Every structure is written in C-alpha cells, then in structure tokens.
Structure 1
C-alpha cells in the first residue's frame, strides 16, 4: 500500500481561540464562585458554559489540591467549564496533573518575561584605538517595517472568529451577533458591531476599539471587558470609541 494512501477521520488544527482566563488574585473559593455565577447570570449567552482557564499566577504560592478542586467544582456549578490551568511554576504543573487538567501555554510568554532574570551588566567599553587604526562606523541597521493591518471587506457572521496577529484589524462591514473579532492592536468597525471585539489581545493597553454603530455583546482591551448590560443606553446604536484608562474600560460617543 502506498504511504499516506488514506483519509484522516479527524483534521487537527492549532489556532487562536477565545477562551476566558480567570486570574485568581485571592483564593476565596466562595467569593470566586459567586462572582462567576453573577457574570453568567448577567450575560448567559457569553459566559454560560464558557471555556475558562484558571490562572493561579497571581498568588504568592500554588493552592493545595483540595482548594483547587473545590474551586474547579464551584466554577462548574456556577455555569462555566474550567478546561485547563494557565502556565506557571512546576508546582502548578504538578497540581494540574493531580486535577486531571492540561496546562495551557497560551500565557507562557508573559510569565517568562515577568520571571526573567535581570541581564548581566555590560562589560566596560574597550579602549578606543588610535585614530589611524579606527575602523569606519558600521552602517545603521534598517528597522523592519511593521506588519500592515488586516482588512476584512465582508461581514463577519455569527460563529466566525477573525484574528489580526501583531497588527490592527479593520472591518469594512458589520460584525454579526455571535461573531468575534480579535486584534493585537486596535479594531476599527465601519459598520455595526454586534458581536465581541477584543483589542490589545497580547496586553497592549494602548489599543482602542472604534465602531460606527455600537451594539456589542462584549468589548475588551488587554483583558479588561464590559458586556452589553454594562453599557449606557445613550451609547447604543451610536458611533463609539473604547479605550483603557487607569485599568478601567472607558466608552464615549465619537463626535
């Protein structure tokens, strides 16, 4: 039989997924479960049965198995589905194994950067050679051009997800209810925004969201979010911009 002469029953692809990250700041299981239940009740279409990564990186030490298991069970009772622990320490990895959960490496870069050792001090500069022996200065390196923004000319329909990696995203049409647009930079929607818009996906707090008609189910910048119920009525249907200021999400009508 010829090699690879068969069809796969399942095609595996690795891509960007919209999974919520619950960063635990205080290990108060009852309060965490209560807060999650309130989120689900306020926006059941967004958070009901949503996949959630539990992130213990904000705690001084990794929780014990009993506390972690109580939190996982409580979150399920609240209406969401914990699917993994966020990348962390070796203790965190061992805890995930005991809980029967995977460790998701999506957040690995920011952890490695936060825990990276300070660079060693630069060695003292070498003594300059005599003028006759001085070599000509090397040519200045040319900066690599920034990647152009991604442009979507047609509507983003319910169930679709669009991701602009490392750049801004411009949608010339509408973003339908149940659709999701994500960008590492800013998001510009020249039609109606009804779905979810997540700008600054890799933590860029300077990113913004602009839309011509605001009916968004959820908007987020660098992880800070608001759902439709949090939005003042006078902004619905208006041209709106969204930005982050002092870790608070701000919205205002565009004039």
Structure 2
C-alpha cells in the first residue's frame, strides 16, 4: 500500500532533527497504519531509515496512550526497521509512560509545529519584578549605555570534503562547504547551507526551526535534504534536477526545489 498522497492523511508526521534523529509526531493513534507507513519509508530509502534512531512524540494527541498501546507501537516500529530510542518531552503522564517503557525522555523536537500547538503547554512562569532602585547621585558617572544586540555568529566554512560517516554542524549560523559532501556524510546548519561542490549525502538547514533557511548546491545528488524538519529523499526528487545546480526552500510547509539559473 502506497503512502497517502496528502500529508494530512498520514497517521504520523516524520521530521528530521538537527542531529539526524527522526522525530515521529503521532497524529492518529493507529498502530497498524503507523507501522505500515514506517515500513514503507524504510523500503523506499533503506540507507537513510534502516535502523535509524527515532523519537516517538505523543504531544499531538489529546491524551497519552496507555502502556499496552504504546508498547505495541514501539515493538511495531522495531519490526518495521527503525529503532525507537526515546519519547519526546511532554506531560507528567508521558514521563510516567516513558519510565514504564524503559525509554528516556528527550527535549521537544524543535520544529515549526511547536509554534502553533501549545494546548498542553503549562503557562510560562514569570519572575517577580525587581525592587525599585534609588537614583544614583548626580556626582556619579552616567549609566553605561545598553549593550548592543549580540552579533550573529559568523558562518562556518568547510574547505575540505565532508566524507562518508562524517557529520558537520554549524550552530547558530550558515554553513558553506567549498568542496563535496560525500554519500553517507551529513551537513547541518541552523541557517542556510551553501555547497560549492557535489552534494551526495544529507543536508539539513534551519535545524532549529528556521523556515527561512535555504540550501544551495552546485551538483545535486542528495540522499536527503531538509529545512526546518521538512524533508525529501532522492526518490522524491524529479529526475531533471539530478546533477544540476539546485536551490531548496520552504514554502507553505512544502519543500520546494528548482534549478539555479
């Protein structure tokens, strides 16, 4: 059975995190369908998803599933070919469930859907206002001006090839690779990614949820590309774009690809 044509028909939304760990956001608690969808992903891209680490996120459900259902899902995902390694951070019930399943709880996946879904979030705590300060005597020096905004970190530049098995992460900035990204290699940036050679591995831009990030490469053969968690694998890419100079961006939660003129 093929995957549903429209994303909203899927029982689970799979996104790729900033360290290459996939986050399975469960939207419909249908164990059979979730396992079937994951098995199809593994069959389509075994090098990417086979034995891949997956965080299971129940935050999109109205209530935390019971232990038997959650255990059936975990076991089913393992049979489908991936390795559930944790539950995503959630409610106290979610924490208790993770303990019964002998799984750790990891911080929430930083993706766009978090900005729109806060139904279960606790109200933010606010610190009490500081007591009023007495004005300084006129003889004292004038107060120092407010510190300037912290400058954005400069972009990271990689001059040598990124080889199979290597992972390169540009935290808080763009990443520029002056050479190639080999098959099995992974480049990640919180900003945009610019690759002046061939991209054969994986490129994940906007890793902390920046939907404005883009990916540019001179010769496109990527195993996977992702922006703010939205991803495509090579099988999803039109044949006419392979081997071309390409740019990738996010538009209305859809990943777009086009040849560079």
The alpha-carbon deviation at position 143 of structure 1 amounts to 1.7
- CA deviation profile, 1:16-57 (whole Å, cap 9, x unmatched): 732111111111111111110110000001001111110111
Question: Are the counterparts in 2 of residues 169 and 185 from structure 1 also a CA contact under 8 Å?
Answer: yes
- SS of 2:248's partner is strand
2:214 is aligned to 208
1:150 equivalent to 2:151? Answer no
User: In structure 2, how many angstroms separate the alpha carbons of the residues matched to 1:137 and 1:83?
Assistant: 52
CA distance in 2, matches of 1:109, 1:254: 27
- Residues paired across the two proteins, number: 232
Q: Would the aligned equivalents of 2:249 and 2:255 in 1 still touch at CA under 8 Å?
A: yes
Q: Distance in 2 between matches of 1:90 and 1:207?
A: 34
Alignment match, 2:239? 233
Q: After TM superposition, which residue ranges in structure 1, 4 or more long, deviate above 6 angstroms? A: 108-113
| Matched-pair contact (CA < 8 Å) for 2:181–2:201 | yes
In the TM superposition, 1:79-228 aligns within 5 A as 79-105=81-107, 107=109, 114=118, 115=121, 117=123, 139-228=145-234
Matched, 1:33 2:40: no
2: CA distance between counterparts of 1:249 and 1:109? 14
Structure 1, 103-112 or 67-76: larger mean CA deviation:
103-112
Cross-structure match for 1:18? 20
Structure with the bigger RCO (C-alpha within 8 Å, sep 6+) is 2
The answer for the alignment partner of 1:244 in structure 2 is 250
Counterparts of 2:217 and 2:190, CA distance in 1 = 17
Give the number of the structure whose alpha-carbon radius of gyration is greater: 1
Kept in 1, the 8 Å contact 2:19–2:188? The answer is no
For 1:179 and 1:43, locate their aligned partners in 2 and report how far apart those are by CA, in whole Å: 15
RMSD: 2.8
TM-score normalized by the length of structure 1: 0.83
Q: Offset of 1:141 from its aligned partner?
A: 3.8
Task: Say which of 37, 49, 57 aligns to 1:47.
Answer: 49
Match of 1:73 among 50, 55, 75: 75
Structure 2: gaps of 5 or more residues: 1-17, 130-141
With normalisation by structure 2, the TM-score equals 0.81
Shift of 1:144: 1.6
Contact 2:111 2:208 in 1 (8 A): no
Query: Where do 5+ consecutive residues of structure 1 fail to align?
Result: 1-15, 124-135
Query: Distance in 2 between the 1:223 and 1:116 partners?
Result: 24
Tell me the SS of whatever aligns to 2:160.
coil
3-state SS in 2 of match to 1:107: coil
Taking the aligned partners of 1:35 and 1:152, their CA distance within structure 2 comes to 36
